[in-house]
Amino acid sequence: MYVLVTYDVQTASPQGAKRLRRVAKICVQYGQRVQNSVFECSLDPAQFEKMKSELEKVADLSKDSLRYYNLGKNWKRKVEHVGAKETYDPEGFLCV
Amino acid sequence: MYVLVTYDVQTASPQGAKRLRRVAKICVQYGQRVQNSVFECSLDPAQFEKMKSELEKVADLSKDSLRYYNLGKNWKRKVEHVGAKETYDPEGFLCV
């Protein structure tokens, strides 16, 4: 499954800035950062559940917001990007 | 069609801060802000094209990033939200 993770972490306090770093660090382990607080992750259901539980342990759910969008199989046809920050196709051809 | 719009605008300069405000202002006209730079928009194809052209006129595409995700018809089953910033269902029952 291809999942989009978006988040808003309230960074008004030092704890918030720390939470932001930790949330981003977890997302980087599971997927590709396409914008500051937007990640695209190619996951199986177990990985998805594990990522969510890690994120929800770190975030302060009274202040922070986490959104997960399951883009389904044909995600490539559903995504358009314009502007800076090119991204790579995680399922594409890798020339080594 | 139900479209998710996410953006990163480079705000290091006063012009960037202005672009950020204008991009957000356009998105607010077309949909619901669910996170700082994440909007969910229920649009027909013509509206989608119009919104995109307005956004791409305002953004500096050498610095800013715009991403559009077409979530398709069954978007409600594809979205999970945890934490702050509750959102409303734009197609849901409105009690007046």
Measure A65 CA to nearest chain B CA, in Å.
Answer: 5
Q: Which fold has domain A2-72?
A: Alpha-Beta Plaits (3.30.70)
At A36-56, the pLDDT tens digits run 999 999 999 999 999 999 999
Rg (C-alpha) for chain A, rounded Å, is: 14
Q: What is the mean pLDDT of residues B19-37?
A: 97
The three-state secondary structure class of B38 is strand
Residue A32 is inside which H or E element, if any?
A: strand A32-35
Residue of B nearest to A48 (CA): B80
Rg (C-alpha) for chain B, rounded Å, is: 14
Give the nearest partner residue to B6 out of A35, A56, A61, using CB atoms. A35
Q: Band the pLDDT of B94: cuts 50, 70, 90.
A: very low
Question: pTM to 2 decimals?
Answer: 0.89
Is A4 at the interface with chain B, CB within 8 A?
yes
Domain boundaries, chain B: 2-72
